[in-house]
Amino acid sequence: MKRILLVVSAGLLLVVIGCALYASRMIHRGFGTRTAPGSVEASLAMTMRDMAIPSRYKAMRNFVAVTPDVVHEGMAHWADHCATCHANNGSGDTMYGRRCPMANSTTPSRTVCA
């Protein structure tokens, strides 16, 4: 019994030390969008985002049919309102986008920032 308690205590101690080291690293690095977060931070953020979306909304599908006209309209809207930062191809290779790597829309932020 004592041995199990010792093993569990040692395991808990390791977890606490690991959390403290990770927290210290995050505090040292700070929070921002200019540097890509680590995989743990990215994974936590994606999990929290998924948890924040009620399941009835997760099950919803886009009711707008994908037709060539709709796609063209979307592309025109993107060019007018989004390309300033994200670039027409979504690369973020613009005067504004280069200042924030997150503006690269060609890959989801979970991989851009991982």
Q: Where along the sequence are the contacts to ligand HEC (CB under 6 A)?
A: 33, 81-82, 84-86, 96, 100, 102-103, 105, 108-109, 112
Task: Name which of 36 and 102 has its Cβ closer to ligand HEC.
Answer: 102
Instruction: List the structure tokens of 69.
Output: 């006209």
Q: For residue 56, report the phi and psi dihedrals to the nearest 5 degrees.
A: -65, -30
Q: How far is the CB of 17 from ligand HEC (least distance, A)?
A: 31
Helix, strand and coil content of the chain, in percent to the nearest 5, comes to 65, 0, 35
Number of other residues whose CB lies within 10 A of the CB of residue 86: 21
Q: How far is the CB of 23 from ligand HEC (least distance, A)?
A: 22
Task: Name which of 25 and 99 has its Cβ closer to ligand HEC.
Answer: 99
From CA 22, how far away is CA 16, in angstroms rounded?
10
Task: Name which of 24 and 35 has its Cβ closer to ligand HEC.
Answer: 35
Task: Name which of 18 and 108 has its Cβ closer to ligand HEC.
Answer: 108
Q: How far is the CB of 47 from ligand HEC (least distance, A)?
A: 15
Q: How far is the CB of 37 from ligand HEC (least distance, A)?
A: 10
Residue 11: HSE in the Cβ half-sphere, 13 Å Cα cutoff: 6
